[in-house]
Chains A and B, each alone.
Chain A
Amino acid sequence: GAVVSQHPSRVICKSGTSVKIECRSLDFQATTMFWYRQFPKQSLMLMATSNEGSKATYEQGVEKDKFLINHASLTLSTLTVTSAHPEDSSFYICSISGGSDQPQHFGDGTRLSIL
C-alpha cells in the first residue's frame, strides 16, 4: 500500500492565490522530507530539504518566502506556494525519508496550474 500521501493531486487557481500542498507519511516517522519541482518535459529538481523541528534548507534559486515549507510533525510536511503566478505552474513531488539508509518514498505529485 501507499507509504506517502500527497494532496491535492491537481490544483487550478487564479494568479495571486496561495496554494498549500500536503505530504503525509502513512507508515513511519519521517525525519526528512524533500520537495521537488518538475517543469514540463524536464527532470525533477530539488527545491528544499525539510527536517522535522528545524527550518527547511532551500536550494539555490528557490525563493524561501515564496515557497513556504512547514515540517511541523514527523508525519506531515506542507509546501505553500504564496501568491502564485503562471510561471509557478509545475508538477510538485514530495519524498519522505526515515533517515540515512532508510528507503525513500515519493508522493504521487501535485499538478499546479495557475491561470
Chain B
Amino acid sequence: AQSVTQLGSHVSVSEGALVLLRCNYSSSVPPYLFWYVQYPNQGLQLLLKYTTGATLVKGINGFEAEFKKSETSFHLTKPSAHMSDAAEYFCAVSEGTGNQFYFGTGTSLTVIP
C-alpha cells in the first residue's frame, strides 16, 4: 500500500524567502515520487519527479526535491519565492510512472509581497 502525507495544509512565505514544502511517503516497493502544482481551476502541472538514480531532482521554475529513503521524505524546496509561485502543491507516489498515483492532501502556498 502507498500513501503520502503533506505536513502543513497552508504555508506562507515572503517574496524572496526560502520555500519548503514537506512530503513523507509510505510505500511497500521502491517508490516513484512526484510534485505537481495546480493553479485555480486548472489541471496539474508536473514540477519534478524521482524515479531512479540521483536523489536530488531539479524541476521547473527553480524547484528541486531530494529523495531521502531513510526518512521516507521527498521535500520540495525553492531558494527564493516568487509571487507567481502562489498555488496548490501536491506530492504523489506511485509504483511506476504508468501506475495510479496516490496524492497527498496538498499544500497551499501563499507568497507575501
A-to-B contact residues, CB < 8 Å? 6, 10, 32, 34, 36, 42-46, 49, 91, 93, 95, 97-104, 106-109, 111
Are B43 and A107 in contact, CB atoms less than 8 angstroms apart? yes
Shortest C-beta distance, A25 to chain B (Å), equals 13
24 cross-chain CB contacts under 8 A:
A6-B43, A10-B41, A34-B101, A42-B105, A43-B103, A43-B104, A44-B90, A44-B101, A44-B103, A45-B103, A46-B100, A49-B100, A91-B41, A97-B97, A98-B98, A100-B98, A102-B97, A102-B98, A104-B94, A104-B98, A104-B101, A106-B43, A109-B42, A109-B44
B70 interface contact, C-beta 8 A: no
Are A103 and B43 in contact, CB atoms less than 8 angstroms apart? no
Nearest opposing residue in chain B for A4, CB measure: B43
B-to-A contact residues, CB < 8 Å? 36, 41-44, 46, 90, 94, 96-106
Known A101-B96, A101-B97, A103-B97; judge A108-B105 contact (CB<8 A): no
Are A43 and B101 in contact, CB atoms less than 8 angstroms apart? no
What separation, in Å, do the CA atoms of A74 and B105 have in the docked complex? 31
Nearest opposing residue in chain B for A59, CB measure: B100
- Say what secondary structure dominates the interface of chain A: strand
Are A93 and B104 in contact, CB atoms less than 8 angstroms apart? no
- Say what secondary structure dominates the interface of chain B: loop
Are A101 and B42 in contact, CB atoms less than 8 angstroms apart? no
Per a CB cutoff under 8 Å, which of B46, B90, B96, B100 touches A43? Answer: B90
Nearest opposing residue in chain A for B42, CB measure: A108
Shortest C-beta distance, B36 to chain A (Å), equals 8
Per a CB cutoff under 8 Å, which of A46, A102, A107 touches B101? Answer: A46
Q: Collect the chain B residues with CB atoms within 8 Å of residue A45's CB.
A: 103
Nearest opposing residue in chain A for B90, CB measure: A43
Are A95 and B101 in contact, CB atoms less than 8 angstroms apart? yes
What separation, in Å, do the CA atoms of A103 and B32 have in the docked complex? 11
Nearest opposing residue in chain A for B9, CB measure: A41
Q: Collect the chain A residues with CB atoms within 8 Å of residue B90's CB.
A: 43-44
Are A108 and B43 in contact, CB atoms less than 8 angstroms apart? yes
Q: Collect the chain A residues with CB atoms within 8 Å of residue B43's CB.
A: 6, 93, 106-109
